Structure 1
Amino acid sequence: MRKLVYGMNLSLDGYIAAPGDDLGWSEPNDELFEFWLERELAIGVFLYGRRLWETMSSYWPTGDQQPGATPAQIEFARNWRDTPKVVFSSTIDKVDWNARLFTGDAVPEIARLKAEDGGPMRVGGATLAAAAMRAGLVDEFEIVTHPVLLGGGAPFFTALDSWVNLNLVETRTFPGGVTLNRYETKR
């Protein structure tokens, strides 16, 4: 059975994007980028909602060819292209870059994928992750908090139907006051 991980950069007040889907506040430093690269290299399948898919697929297919790309960014781009992806959306009709589109109910499909053998899966996008959380499918949360208040935008967590108890398994501090708290779901 695969592990399902939900983790992103978020503001101190809990948002993954500022109003207008602005992500400019979360530019990672080299150490943080290396952390994310290490985590992504361990992922067997990326699960994306439409908006995060559009953000990732607009840059990372050629991220290794951008002027000034660091060795870590080059490796991240190559890994992103090579890792299988499932995009959950009913509003787009085509995906590429080693991805397949799923237009049905996300929860049963995520549960089916989770029951397979293989490396961990990462769910990305607040709406898709919220559905997985409400269904009790998320096994681990990687919360990388930046010292900024956005006051609104897309929240990392959305309303749940019941409590989710967690075990803290890792903390880490990055330059600029950025912190990681990694939790596993108590089962």
Structure 2
Amino acid sequence: MRKLIYGMNVTLDGYIAAAGDDIGWSGPSEELFGWWLDQERASGLTLYGRKLWETMSVYWPTADQQPDANPLEIEFARNWRDSPKVVFSSTLDGDLGWNTRLVAGDAVAEIARLKDEDGAPMTIGGATLAAAAMQAGLIDEYVLATHPVLVGGGTPFFTAMDSWVNLDLMETRTFPGGVVMTRYEVRR
């Protein structure tokens, strides 16, 4: 059975994007960017909601070809293109490219099916998709890279839950700029 990991950059007040989908506060240090790259390399499959997919697919397919791309960005772009991805959307259609499969049906059922397979851990991104997986109890691990900024509103990392979810702290790490990564495992 695969593990499902939900991890993102988040503000101290709990948002993955400020109002207007502004993520300008989230520019990672080289060390944090390298850490995220390592997480992506360890993932066997990445699950995206439509909105995050559209953000990622605008930049990362050709990011390694930009004249100012640094070695970590080049490696992230190559890994992103080559890694298997599933995008959940009822509005997108056709071939999305870059080793990506589109699912228009029941996201929770498909995520549960993918978790039942053998393989490396899966990561999930996108607030709406992650919220559905949280509500269904499918997430096994939460990773927050908390940036020292308060934005006052926007897209929250966590959704409202119907019941408590007890977590065990697995790891903490501090990065330049005062970013603190915390990794929690769901207590089953």
Query: Which residue does the alignment assign to 2:132?
Result: 131
Query: Which residue does the alignment assign to 1:91?
Result: 91
Classify the secondary structure of the residue corresponding to 2:111.
Answer: helix
Query: Which residue does the alignment assign to 1:5?
Result: 5
- Structure 1 CA distance for aligned equivalents of residues 103 and 162 of structure 2: 25
Query: Which residue does the alignment assign to 2:21?
Result: 21
- Structure 1 CA distance for aligned equivalents of residues 97 and 157 of structure 2: 26
- Structure 2 CA distance for aligned equivalents of residues 132 and 123 of structure 1: 9
Alignment-mate amino acid for residue 126 of structure 2: G
Which aligned runs of 4 or more in structure 1 are off by greater than 3 angstroms?
none
Q: Give how far 1:62 is off.
A: 0.6
Deviation digits for residues 125-184 of structure 1, max 9, x if unmatched?
011001101111101101010000011110000111111000000000001100001000
Residue correspondence of structure 1 range 12-161 to structure 2 within 5 A: 12-94=12-94, 95-161=96-162
Classify the secondary structure of the residue corresponding to 2:16.
Answer: strand
Alignment-mate amino acid for residue 162 of structure 1: S
TM-score normalised over the length of structure 1: 0.98
Alignment-mate amino acid for residue 15 of structure 1: Y
Alignment-mate amino acid for residue 152 of structure 2: G
Alignment-mate amino acid for residue 100 of structure 2: A
- Mean alpha-carbon deviation: is it higher for 114-123 or for 90-99? 90-99
- Structure 1 CA distance for aligned equivalents of residues 27 and 67 of structure 2: 17
- Structure 1 CA distance for aligned equivalents of residues 18 and 66 of structure 2: 25
Alignment-mate amino acid for residue 107 of structure 1: V
Classify the secondary structure of the residue corresponding to 1:145.
Answer: strand
Q: Give how far 1:93 is off.
A: 1.2
- Structure 2 CA distance for aligned equivalents of residues 22 and 96 of structure 1: 26
Seq. identity, %: 72
Classify the secondary structure of the residue corresponding to 1:172.
Answer: strand
Classify the secondary structure of the residue corresponding to 2:13.
Answer: coil
- Structure 2 CA distance for aligned equivalents of residues 14 and 96 of structure 1: 32
Give the length in aligned residue pairs. Answer: 187
Where in structure 2 are there 5+ consecutive unaligned residues? none
TM-score normalised over the length of structure 2: 0.98
Alignment-mate amino acid for residue 44 of structure 2: G
